Amino acid sequence: MSTSGYSDRINHALAFAAKHHDQQVRKGTRLPYLTHPANVAIILTRYGQDDDTIIAGILHDVIEDTVREAYSREMLVQRIREKFGEEVLQTVLQVTHRNADDDGVELSPADRKADYLERLSEASERARWVCAADKLHNAASMVADLRRTFDPGSVWGRFKLGKEGTVRWYRDVHTRLASLGFSAAIMGELGATVDELESLARAS
């Protein structure tokens, strides 16, 4: 598998994500939210993934995080399908947290995470790559922030799950991917990053 690391479709996806994540920032920071999907794209490019995987990485939070008055979930689904194709859309949907199950029953925050982990069993290899890159960037960002700060509580306080719950979530995702036989090279980096996050959590 090879990729140029740049294409008109990737540029289009970045513009699309920038539009839909406009005014959003990363938790507890002033960084534009777009820095996250852009870094996910860089990670996927570094591991030699193809354009559709990189584009799905750029768009992976659009449906989950940008539903608002102007755009319903159905509208966003249709826009992604029309602009980037069915393969990209299905990959994005496979790594999107759901608010309700197949029967329309609303999911609690804990149930949403359990549902996400369960659905990884039916996710494509491409979706598992996007999942791993997403979690790698998030965990690595926390590690970097924890190394820089004199107040670890200010970092852990950004997350509703708290310190223990946040670390457990990233460990659970890594464990789940491994249990499904996803043994791509990125798993070593993700595992090492989660190990470091756990170590910093114990020390803080």
SS3 (DSSP) at 6: coil
Type of residue found at 187: M
64 belongs to the catalytic site: yes
| Residue count (the chain) | 204
Element (H, E) at 9: helix 8-20
- DSSP category for residue 78: H
CB of 133 closer than 8 Å to CB of 186: yes
65 belongs to the catalytic site: yes
CA dist., res. 76 & res. 67, Å (int)? 8
Options 8, 52, 61, 65, the catalytic residue: 65
CB of 132 closer than 8 Å to CB of 186: yes
Task: Write down the mean pLDDT value for the chain.
Answer: 91
pLDDT tens sequence across 21-60: 877 776 766 778 899 999 999 999 999 999 999 999 999 9
pLDDT tens sequence across 189-204: 999 999 999 999 999 8
CA dist., res. 133 & res. 148, Å (int)? 22
pLDDT at 66: 59
**Could you tell me the domains of the chain?**
8-203 (1.10.3210.10)
- DSSP category for residue 59: H
Options 52, 64, 115, 196, the catalytic residue: 64
SS3 (DSSP) at 107: coil
Check whether 1 has a pLDDT greater than 50: no
